[in-house]
Amino acid sequence: MAVYNNCDRSCCFGCCGPVGPQGPAGPQGVPGAAGATATNQNALLSNSAAQAVAAGDALALPTNQINSTGDIAAAGTNGLTLQPGQYLVSFGADSADTAAGDLGAALALDGTALTDARSAVPTTAADSTRIALNTVLTLTAPSTLTVINDTGNALTYTNASLTAVKLA
């Protein structure tokens, strides 16, 4: 069977003609719901220098970059004051000891270590390791966030950084 103008005559009685013009655009659809507004509030505290931290003490994080409208503020040189809301928090540092013990740290709210944001790596001799902690905090009252050495022995930390991003 012959094909004329892309028409095989199987569905029509005559030869297919040219394609017609495009029709007019349809009406605009209903607008979608508004998305969540980003808070754009965050903070980075850091200390690249080596610091000896006794068991139970907070790490010094004196260098800060805080982008906040008031919900995140420096708490001295050791941490952050966070207003009620939800925050993504991350910490990382190199941790070293001079004898057998644990290497690690914990995020702490108002001086109390968070059970879901701590690390303890047992060692049998002097050793070092990179530690990382991450958590999401939901706060109902203003709180002070710090990083503490909760391992039970003195440690040296270098290249420490703490970040907090307000999610809601």
Q: Are strands 112-123 and 155-166 parallel, antiparallel or unpaired?
A: unpaired
Q: Report residue 5's pLDDT band, with 50, 70 and 90 as the boundaries.
A: low
Q: Tell me phi and psi for residue 156, to 5 degrees.
A: -110, 130
| Helix (H/G/I), strand (E/B), else coil: 149 | coil
Q: What is the per-residue pLDDT across 112-154, written as a single tens digit (0 to 9) for each?
A: 999 999 999 999 999 999 999 999 999 999 999 999 999 999 9
Model confidence, pTM: 0.78
Whether residue 159 contacts residue 94, with contact meaning beta carbons closer than 8 Å, is answered with yes
Whether residue 16 contacts residue 6, with contact meaning beta carbons closer than 8 Å, is answered with yes
Mean pLDDT value across the chain: 91
